[in-house]
Amino acid sequence: MPNIHPTAIVHGDTRIADDAAIGPYCVIESDVEIGSQTVIREHAVIRRYTTLGKNNLVDAMGVIGGEPQDLKFDPEQVTYVRIGDNNVFREGVTISRATGEGNVTVVGNNTYWMAGAHAGHNTVIEDYVILTNGCAIGGHATIGRRAILSSYVGVHQFCWVGEMVMLQGHAGTSTHVPPYTMIAGINRVVGINSIGLRRAEEITDEDRRQIKEAFRITYRSGLTTPKALEKMDACNDWGEHADKFRQFVRRVLNAKPPHNRPLCPAGGSIRKRR
């Protein structure tokens, strides 16, 4: 039997793994599934239509699966939050369920959310993402694998943040951010996430060279984004990682409303700004 504190309120039709733990004064609503070895700490709330996989931690005062903060939301809609395995949600984290009948807010595996981080409705947070204190992700945004969002970063609704992007503290974007880049200030690409690339064991020296060339063509050549894509398409020897950069640019250029936002522009370097 799961370890459920006597002060917790757990609705009868929840599905809780035998080795899960529910702490004092928690509220677990109906239509919830909580996987093996998942721990819900004191005063946390898991709202209906939420699925938590294995070995997750929801710390004190977290609210997972709350109704979307969307004026168009119909409370009669059945929408979902689906969370994978091995995620940590520290104090006060909030994640909204989706808006639009049958839609889903998705969190992958091995993510780490520091105190007060928030993800809005219909977001997709991919594996190994780190959201530090006070981050706010708008509805319908996507945060790519291994991205790191520093304190108080804001991501506008309908924006895509690519794989292994690093956003500096208090940064924000209302544009699409290509993979492997660094963002400082508002809508300012300031370079490649070189440290992240060096730490990624699957990325070789040749991969890094190709990624830097893709970045140079896009941001340092003086070409328009469509012309830069044409030039990148001529690089037939690129591997999968540089190709992710190229395909991200292509996706941005072909995006339909409401995702038809520009690629995040260049904004100089951190060193120059100092």
Which pLDDT tens digit goes with each residue over 176-234?
999 999 999 999 999 999 999 999 999 999 999 999 999 999 999 999 999 999 999 99
Measure the CA–CA gap between 18 and 13, rounded to whole angstroms.
15
DSSP 8-state class, residue 109: S
- Domain 202-262, CATH number (from 3.30.70, 1.20.1180, 3.20.20, 2.40.50): 1.20.1180
Question: Helix, strand or coil for residue 197?
Answer: helix
Measure the CA–CA gap between 248 and 164, rounded to whole angstroms.
13
* Mean pLDDT, residues 30-51: 98
Nearest to 58 by CA among 43, 41, 46: 41
Q: Are strands 166-167 and 124-125 parallel, antiparallel or unpaired?
A: unpaired
Domain with CATH 1.20.1180 in the chain: 202-262
CB burial class (10 A; 0-12, 13-18, 19+) of residue 133?
middle
DSSP H or E segment with residue 48 = none
8 A C-beta contact, residue 36 and residue 55: yes
Output the pLDDT for position 267.
85
* Mean pLDDT, residues 95-113: 98
Does 273 have pLDDT greater than 50? no
* Mean pLDDT, residues 92-121: 98
Measure the CA–CA gap between 173 and 187, rounded to whole angstroms.
5
8 A C-beta contact, residue 270 and residue 190: yes
Q: Average per-residue pLDDT in the chain?
A: 96
8 A C-beta contact, residue 75 and residue 94: no
- Domain 3-140, CATH number (from 3.30.565.10, 1.10.579.10, 2.160.10.10, 3.30.160.110): 2.160.10.10
Beta bridge partner(s), residue 15: 33
Q: For 100, phi and psi rounded to 5 degrees?
A: 95, 120
* Mean pLDDT, residues 46-61: 98
Question: Helix, strand or coil for residue 182?
Answer: strand
Does 115 have pLDDT greater than 60? yes
Measure the CA–CA gap between 273 and 224, rounded to whole angstroms.
24
Beta bridge partner(s), residue 161: 143, 177
Output the pLDDT for position 274.
29
What's the pTM?
0.95
* Confidence label for 102 from pLDDT (cuts 50, 70 and 90): very high
Residue with the bigger pLDDT between 55 and 12: it is 55
